[in-house]
Structure 1
Amino acid sequence: MRCLAVLTVRNEGAFLLEWLAHHRAVGFTDFLVFSNDCQDGTDAILDRLEEMGQITHIRNDGPYDQGGIQFTAYKAADKMEIVKQADWILTLDVDEFVNIHVGDRTLPALFDALPEAHAITLTWRLFGCAGQARFKDEPVTQTFLRAAPVKMYWPWRSAMFKTLYRNDGTYRKMGVHRPRSPDPDRVEAARWFDGEGRELDAKFRTQRIFSNYGRSNYGLVQLNHYPLGAMESYILKAARGRAVHSDHMLGVDYWVERNFNQEEDRSILDMSDRMQAELTPLKADPELARLHEAAVTWRRDKFEELMMLEPYRALFGRLLMTPPTRALPMNEARFLVRYANLAREMSAGGEENA
């Protein structure tokens, strides 16, 4: 069975080797990685990994279509042989780590638990910075262990998912959160299951990008999402801009909606030994080791450079002053959800009357 992970990256060379080692240990067999506009040597690391037979690397330096950088990459990927040969596909970012809780914690164990699934939703569990200000060249999965509560009621992005799906022709294009372009003759028969093993309703086949609020979605599998990192890393992320809209600088609003630290979640540490077994030979390659160190140095130097600029210095100060985000209780969340639903109904009514 061939399981393909598709990744898009820019200036994230310091995190690449851990990400690759972890997902090899989880059971992914193939990796298709698109890089764009890198200054830290991410593209050179990917070139070396391709030479070693670890990945397939494509430079995605533009021009980009209206969908932006990621959709341009996915559009190119849809035509590639490595994609056509895959049995299962998952699109990921470098701050997302698949965390399986069933069997031996690998993809085959997950598939054995859900043998009838055409698609499995991997719901984000958001991991906050836990007050860590400075970037350290240490595994992300061993550094950030404080996360959002299992049951979240707000915001909607706390329940967003990525989709692990069978590449059997039911969906003909990949997307950021879910496969796209369903085959009308096949999609009605597609069976979607969530991370608890519950079968999902028909809307998930074509529409949904987030799981239902107020319940656990992680019994069999979750997607550990580390969108912030340390405060220092967030300054670099802010300078890079949003993944889909790279010209939009990130601010405190993005931080507050993701900096949840209420519960400790150490479950991914069960994969540490297997991840390290994959990572050690990668770091033993002299060229990869050199390129990794260069990416780490670039990251530290870039932070020093940004701190000489008022917008980033001010942002770092705000991060230091901002307490961890409070998870909203059900009654407060319901108040917000009510207005969100009313606004959606009004918008739908306006479209019908236009």
Structure 2
Amino acid sequence: MRARLRDRAVSKAPRFKLTACAIFREEAPFLAEWIRFHQSVGFEHFYLYNNFSTDDFKAVLDPFIQEGLVTLVDWPRPVGQLSAYKDCIRRHWHEALWIGLFDIDEFLFAPDGRDVRSVLNAYRDLPGVCVWQAFYGSSGHVERPESPVVEAYTMRAGPDITTAKTIVNPRMVYKVGVHLSKFLSGEGLDTHRRTIVPGMPPKLDILRINHYWSRSLADLDQKIRRGDASTSALRDRDWHFDFESKLNVERDEAILKAMRRAG
């Protein structure tokens, strides 16, 4: 009941309708593209948690901070992803209608070019909207190309390799998850209002996430070395390169089409 009262109060005049929370490490070359892309599809603010980065991320983020677009939090905690999400929800439940919980290598958009905020209007009765992912591989790039991520990587896996991330109503979350969260009332559903269960086919037509899982093979090598913010287990190099080889099955340029429609 208290959560619903809070939600009604915030819904009347939210500071932001749609925000994103992400934890990052050594992502300086990719931050600006990720922020500007999501701003272009309707995200109004970004809560970014730095997790032991040693690159020039501050220089990249400074203009966005000055612009009022980014809130930067230093988060020097091992396996810090879930605790960062919890902190974000605790601090910002009162100012954001929705908070998307996803990563810097993940790009969320509506394939028909609509503003994501307008899409989410149809799901205000839900505590969370689960968005399916398409996994993208290296597209044959051994070294990092000069072109933007969304243009460089156009080959992806088939629908058998997928998962979902959640855009949450932060007043309704009681247990946050990397992929799916638990809520005080109801459950998160996908854009076709289905409960997420293992093995179900993804739906990428209303909202989707392009997960640029490896980027180039050189970037994949760096990803393996830096470890994971959601687990303390070391990354297995052979497994990662074998998995990447399955992510270049079909060409999918839906994100570029959506950008042209939106433009």
The bucket for the TM-score relative to the shorter chain is 0.7 to 0.9
CA distance in 2, matches of 1:165, 1:18: 23
Structure with more strand by fraction: 2
Do 1:119 and 1:163's aligned partners in 2 also have CA atoms closer than 8 Å?
yes
Q: What's the counterpart of residue 231 of structure 1?
A: 217
Q: Which is greater in Rg?
A: 1
Is 2:238 the partner of 1:252? yes
Do 1:145 and 1:265's aligned partners in 2 also have CA atoms closer than 8 Å?
yes
* 1:9-158 equivalent positions in 2, closer than 5 A: 9-62=24-77, 64=78, 68-80=79-91, 82-102=92-112, 104-114=113-123, 116-149=125-158, 151-152=159-160, 158=161
Q: CA deviation at 1:267?
A: 0.8
Q: What's the counterpart of residue 241 of structure 1?
A: 227
Structure with more helix by fraction: 1
Q: 1:108 to 1:227 in 2, by over 3 A?
A: same
Q: What's the counterpart of residue 168 of structure 2?
A: 165
Deviates more, 1:83-92 or 1:109-118: 109-118
Q: What's the counterpart of residue 179 of structure 1?
A: 181
Do 1:2 and 1:30's aligned partners in 2 also have CA atoms closer than 8 Å?
no
Tell me how many residue pairs correspond in the alignment: 247
Q: What's the counterpart of residue 254 of structure 2?
A: 267
Is 2:190 the partner of 1:194? yes
Letter in structure 2 aligned against 1:45: V
- Give the secondary structure class of the aligned counterpart of 1:253: helix
CA distance in 1, matches of 2:176, 2:26: 23
Task: Calculate the TM-score normalised by the size of structure 2.
Answer: 0.83
- Deviation sequence 1:112-140 (CA, Å, 0-9, x none): 45464432211111111122101123211
- Deviation sequence 1:200-259 (CA, Å, 0-9, x none): 24xx5xxx5x5x43x341121211001101111111111111232356134121232344
CA distance in 2, matches of 1:40, 1:166: 33
Do 1:4 and 1:31's aligned partners in 2 also have CA atoms closer than 8 Å?
yes
CA distance in 2, matches of 1:260, 1:272: 23
CA distance in 2, matches of 1:138, 1:83: 36
CA distance in 2, matches of 1:9, 1:261: 25
Task: Calculate the TM-score normalised by the size of structure 1.
Answer: 0.63
Q: 1:250 to 1:242 in 2, by over 3 A?
A: farther
Where in structure 1 do 4 or more consecutive aligned residues deviate above 3 Å?
Answer: 112-118, 271-275
Do 1:3 and 1:86's aligned partners in 2 also have CA atoms closer than 8 Å?
yes
Identical aligned residues as a percent: 23
Structure 2 gaps of 5+ residues are 1-15
Do 2:28 and 2:55's aligned partners in 1 also have CA atoms closer than 8 Å?
yes
CA distance in 1, matches of 2:163, 2:46: 23
- Give the secondary structure class of the aligned counterpart of 1:110: helix
